[in-house]
Amino acid sequence: MCEPIVDLPEDASPEAVPLATARGFTRAAWQNEGHSLEQLALFAAASGGEFDALEVAALFRISLRAAQQRLEFAVTLATRLPRTLAAIKAGRLDPYRASKIADATLTLSLEDTATVEAEILDQVEEMPAVMLSRALRRIVARVNADALQALHEKRVAQRRVDNYPTEDGCSVLTVHGSAARVQVAAGRVDAIAYQLRDTGGADGRTMDQLRSDVALDLLAGKDFEHAKIIVQVTLPARAALGVDNTPGHLVGYGDIAAQQAVDLAYQTDATWRRILTEPATGRVLDVGRRRYTPPAALRDHIHATMP
């Protein structure tokens, strides 16, 4: 059995010991995983064969896709993110959050990747995965704004639907796609679920049960009354006018590439509102009361001039 990595002050209370020990075993597991990933990277470098993923899948009793992803992750850590790999091997970072760093830097040069890695590793240890993803997008956008758009395009090209059974007579369906489209889809599910609840159509179902039933009903072709969906995106005026590529912000998600934000802002049913912010901090200083729709001529001009 591996030894736990426990950091406790001498005056720690007795009840604190089991929790710290449990955490210590988890950190030791991170260490072991780091060494396993390092060995997989060495295997890939030495072999480089087309059947490497099949060997890993058979040895680890995992699917071929999972084996391919594991091998790619190991090679990425070893060749592009050596400090991140070292942090896993030291028990300071879990592989899941390390995978977020790998994903965010996928389209960056080695030099830019090293810059992002150095900055994020200074703050990652106490940062939950959701906060880490948002922090990474901000850093990547600052280091290379074009990379944010390139990563978005790469991930959108890999969009898919996964369906796998659970052991309780149920199954899980996941849809991977553009954040904006997922927001719209989730917004419609929420709107219909609330509509059913508020009009007496819930039949004792909880909101989670309603959302599940509505989503599956929609995919199965059931028609519902129109429900209004609001997706909020903010972007700097210069980006909205196609002057630069400063990223926008999708409410409920975080920073998105300028092109993606512009596409949302110039949809035919979009409405705009002026929001004045402090450039250094992003703090809102003033919100305009007037809403308006961008003129079609301006929308056509921006779409024609954006790369």
Count the helix, strand and coil residues of the chain and give each as a percent rounded to the nearest 5.
55, 10, 35
Query: The tokens of 96 are what?
Result: 């899941």
CA dist., res. 148 & res. 145, Å (int): 6
- Tell me the per-residue pLDDT of 113-129, one tens digit each, with 9 for 90 and over: 999 999 999 888 888 88
CA dist., res. 114 & res. 137, Å (int): 15
pLDDT of residue 62: 92
What residues contact 75, with CB distance under 8 A and at least 6 apart?
40, 41, 44, 45
Half-sphere exposure of 211 (CA within 13 A, CB side): 9
How many H helices and E strands in the chain?
Answer: 13, 7
Asked if residues 187 and 229 have their Cβ atoms less than 8 Å apart, the reply is yes
Would you give the distance in Å from CA 110 to the centre of its chain? Answer: 21
Beta carbons within 10 angstroms of residue 102's beta carbon:
20
Q: pLDDT higher for 76 or 300?
A: 76
pLDDT band (50, 70, 90) for residue 234: confident
Strands (E), the chain: 160-165, 171-176, 233-234, 248-250, 254-256, 272-277, 284-292
| Burial category of 10 from C-beta neighbours within 10 Å (exposed 0-12, middle 13-18, buried 19 and up) | exposed
pLDDT average, residue stretch 169-188: 91
CA dist., res. 177 & res. 153, Å (int): 10
pLDDT band (50, 70, 90) for residue 96: very high
Rg (CA), the chain: 23
pLDDT band (50, 70, 90) for residue 239: confident
pLDDT of residue 212: 96
pLDDT of residue 16: 76
What residue segments make up the domains of the chain, in order of their start? 16-157, 178-219, 233-305
- Tell me the per-residue pLDDT of 6-45, one tens digit each, with 9 for 90 and over: 777 666 777 778 888 888 889 999 999 999 999 999 999 9
pLDDT band (50, 70, 90) for residue 64: very high
pLDDT of residue 220: 84
pLDDT band (50, 70, 90) for residue 227: low
Choice among 83-87, 178-182, 201-205, 236-240 with the minimum mean pLDDT: 236-240
Q: pLDDT higher for 289 or 158?
A: 158
pTM of the model: 0.71
Indicate if the pLDDT at residue 139 is higher than 60: yes
